[in-house]
Amino acid sequence: MFRAIAVLFLTFPMTAWALVPPDYQEPPSDFTAEIEAGFQLNTGNTDSSSFNGRTKLVYDTKQTKQEATFKAYFASDDEKTTSEKYDIQLQSNYKLQSDWGGYVFGRGDFTSDRFGSYTQISTVSTGYGFDAISDIDTKLSLEIGPGYRYNMPIETEAEPDPEANADVIIRTAIKFEQKLQEYTSLNADLTAEAGEDNSTLTLDMNYKNTLFQDWAFKIGVNVKYTDVVPEGTKQTDTITTFNLLYTFQ
């Protein structure tokens, strides 16, 4: 009996090694996702808390690429909420068979910002993009195309019942990714929306350092400049985040 068990014990690992070689790796997946969050709590002289979270889903195949990004920002002190903002970004690319790695895209950007100069912003756009640089360490993509933007200004004392603004725009975007070292990378997206009534410029930049396996520490900065804003509000909004990020595929 003992001999039979020993034979099975020795035979099974040898069979497993034959079927699954030691250097075997799972085939790459078309689907990847990133989930990140950061939280800050202050007590003592000042009682305040803040939270931000981001989820990004990417489905990339030979012919198409689908991206969805969801962001949330919230802050409050011991008396009231001081910041509450939600972003949704959706983009669908159809890849063209060209040496430039070109693609046509459709995109939607939707923002709800309780304390922003504009409380609701909806932008839909389409156009053409291509990969100017695409290698292991560096990626650079350029996009341009027409779009339509809807803005709802915040209520102010001078304008207690504001009217929404609708504008045809031209959207241009630069998307840059640079691998600095084996475990660090830098990403920067610069987007300009030029319209007859208003124009915006947005820089979304982050530095990521992998801690272990799929976990990373991420520092992000988002700066948005709006040319025309309601009276009493500022043209530039800046958000800085310090988050823990998990990537899976």
* pLDDT for the residue 14: 46
* pLDDT for the residue 28: 61
Stretches where the chain sits below pLDDT 70 are 1-28, 41-46
**Looking at the 3D structure of the chain, how many domains does it have?**
1
* pLDDT for the residue 20: 47
The type of residue at 24 is: Y
* pLDDT for the residue 29: 74
* pLDDT for the residue 21: 52
Global pTM reads 0.84
* pLDDT for the residue 101: 75
Residue 2 covered by a domain:
no
Task: Specify the CATH number for the domain of residue 45.
Answer: 2.40.160.40
Residue 178 covered by a domain:
yes
**240: nearest Cα among 206, 212, 194, 191:** 206
Residue 158 covered by a domain:
yes
Q: Could you count the other beta carbons within 10 Å of the beta carbon of residue 41?
A: 9
Per the structure, the complete domain to which residue 172 belongs is given by 26-248
Residue 19 covered by a domain:
no
The owner of tokens 């079927």 is 19
Q: What is the DSSP string of the chain?
A: -HHHHHHHHHHHHHHHHHHS-TT--PPPPSEEEEEEEEEEEE-SS--EEEEEEEEEEEEE-SSEEEEEEEEEEEEEESSSEEEEEEEEEEEEEEE-SSTT--EEEEEEEEEEETTSSEEEEEEEEEEEEEEEEESSSEEEEEEEEEEEEEEEEPP-SS-SSPPPEEEEEEEEEEEEEEE-SSSEEEEEEEEEEEESS-EEEEEEEEEEEEEETTEEEEEEEEEEEESS--TTS-SEEEEEEEEEEEEE-
